[in-house]
Amino acid sequence: MQLMWVSGPTGRVRTISITAKKVVVAALVGSFTLIVTGFLLYLVGFKIAVETSPDLARTLGGVTTEAEQQRMEAIYRDRLVKMQETLDSTAQDIRQLQQLKNRFMEIATPASLRERVASKEDGRGGPLLLLPSRRATLDSSLPLDESLDSTMGEIGQFNKTVSSMRSDWDKQLQWLHTLPTGVPIAGDFRMTSGFGMRVDPFTHTLARHEGLDFTASHGAPIIATADGLVTRSGWEDTYGHIVEITHAEGFMTRYAHISKRHVTEGQRVKRGQHIADVGSTGRSTGPHLHYEVLRNGHVMNPVQVLPSGG
């Protein structure tokens, strides 16, 4: 196809041949021009959006300005600081719990075993957690990813330390459960005879009393003062019905003058378990429990192992 036109009455006749090839080339050139123009307009608009509205820029292209990036990092660092402060506070709470636990162990541990309880002078060690100076590194001296890794490492170490402390507390409490530090009778009672010299209620002469007498109503529950193994459950003329339990650390407890036994020899018992009833069997003037504590075969004053004995 050809296009012809004359510029004037005396002008030359001009013609333009339009072929398919020329149409395709023109279309491609026009398309490329439109694409480049659109891309340039997008860049100009995006730059304006970045400078005037960072939130819009994030929505459009997922990019931020350096100032916006620093602002975001400052927010995360502030959160890291607060996380460190929370860990510091938790560590302080745990240190206070440790002090309470140590006081409990000191009070509840028999005087003869106090050396088994850790003191402040005993050897200790381990990593120092959550130093306040660490918080300063979160401001600017470390990259954000390194600060995050460091904090997560501290949290992991902190959790391990707490888990280790919990295991240690459980072991010490289990150890206390194996020691006869409990009161051997439940309910209301009165202590009528202490350990040592006294006037014998039958002969009215001075005699040695190797235990404590707890007066209570007939049938009142007698309980084991610690975990252990029943090594005797029977009758003895002086003690009447008697139960003996062997415990850890060479301790043995004896419960006498009882009316009824609820355990048999070879039976394992737990601290606080009902093992017998108060009675007045054997050499007795009335319902009461005669309670003795021995260690390595030697009689000792039960007050020394009772919590109040400390």
Residues 6+ apart with CB under 8 A from 92: none
What mean pLDDT is reported for the chain?
A: 77
Q: How many residues does the chain have?
A: 310
Q: Check residue 83 and give its pLDDT.
A: 77
Which of 226, 251, 230 lies closest to 113 in space, CA to CA? 251
Q: Check residue 240 and give its pLDDT.
A: 95
> Which residue's entry shows tokens 């820029």?
57
Do 113 and 249 form a contact (C-beta atoms < 8 A)?
yes
Residues 6+ apart with CB under 8 A from 160: none
Do 258 and 277 form a contact (C-beta atoms < 8 A)?
yes
Q: What are phi and psi of 215, to 5 degrees?
A: -85, 130
> How far apart (Å, rounded) are the C-alpha atoms in residues 214 and 182?
14
> How far apart (Å, rounded) are the C-alpha atoms in residues 248 and 177?
9
Do 299 and 253 form a contact (C-beta atoms < 8 A)?
no
Q: Where are the alpha helices (DSSP H) in the chain?
A: 20-52, 54-61, 66-108, 144-177
Angle between helices 66-108 and 144-177 (to 10 degrees): 10
- 3-class DSSP state of 119: coil
Q: What is the dihedral of CA 264, 266, 272, 276, to 10 degrees?
A: 20
> How far apart (Å, rounded) are the C-alpha atoms in residues 292 and 255?
7
Ranges under pLDDT 70 in the chain: 1-25, 39, 41-66, 68, 106-108, 110-142, 144, 307-310
What is the radius of gyration, based on Cα positions, of the chain? Answer: 44
> How far apart (Å, rounded) are the C-alpha atoms in residues 75 and 77?
5
